[in-house]
Amino acid sequence: MRKEEAVVRIVGRLDLEFNGMLDQQKARQIIQEVLYDYDVNPAQRSLVVQDDMNDKILLYLASKKIDGLAMRTLEGYSRNLNRFAYYMRKNVEDVTTMDIRMYLASYAKTGVKNGTIGTETDILRGFFRWLEDEEYINKSPLRKIKSLKPEKRIRKALTNEEMEILRDGCKTYRQKALLEFFL
């Protein structure tokens, strides 16, 4: 937990305690002044080490939602980042370049194409760049990982039968002219 999060929680609790009669601005300013020279870290009370990856993913998605990303884009980011978090099970600052390479290699073994791996890499790159910008980590482990070039697909030409079916489907001379132009 960062210092700002602690300040917000303290002010919220004080406001509840004083039944909304608290000057939140003044309380916030005082707490920030007192904590200025202190580092605030949450206490670890669990017997098992828990990773903070899922919390950071939620913060990242919330910031991207504020930036105006579409809901479907956010859902895709969430799906990919949660798959990564499930595989990794580490704190974000403990993730190394080799960890990411191993993850991408194991994901590639599932039979996905280079374009899909490239998309996964781009999403992870954006996530770790955001973590770096927000000072959750010192340096992004994806700086050393290059994006894969997607394989080129050669499209099959339409058969004569398929072209005739398209021509028969045209209702106007304009549609026929456009079809002939594109063919």
129 located within any domain: yes
pLDDT for residue 83: 93
Residues 74 and 20 in one domain: no
pLDDT of residue 66: 87
Kindly report the CATH number assigned to the domain that includes residue 73.
Answer: 1.10.150.130
Does a structural domain hold residue 26?
A: yes
Q: Tell me how many domains the chain contains.
A: 3
pLDDT of residue 79: 94
What is the pTM for the complete model shown?
Answer: 0.59
Residue 39 domain-assigned (yes or no): no
User: Do 69 and 122 lie in a common domain?
Assistant: yes
From the centroid of its chain, how far is CA 75?
9
Residue ranges, the chain, pLDDT below 70: 1-2, 20, 42-50, 150
Residues 131, 161, single domain; the answer is: no
Domain assignment present for 41: no
Decide: 97 and 142 in contact? Cβ < 8 Å. yes
pLDDT of 43 reads 62
Give the per-residue pLDDT at 148.
Answer: 74
pLDDT for the residue numbered 13: 77
Question: Cα separations (Å) of 77 from 51, 53, 150, 166?
Answer: 19, 14, 20, 38
Q: Give DSSP secondary structure letters for 71-134.
A: HHHHHHHHHHHHHHHHHH-S-GGG--HHHHHHHHHHHHTTT--HHHHHHHHHHHHHHHHHHHHT
Tokens of residue 50, six digits: 């828990």
Say which residues have a Cβ less than 8 Å from residue 164's Cβ, sequence separation at least 6.
none
Distance CA 100, CA 102 (A): 5
Question: 93 lies in which domain range?
Answer: 53-144
Written as six digits, the tokens of 27 are 């309380």
Question: Do 8 and 67 fall into the same domain?
Answer: no
Per-residue confidence (pLDDT) for residue 141, from 0 to 100? 92
Tracing tokens 């996530």 back to the chain, one arrives at 127
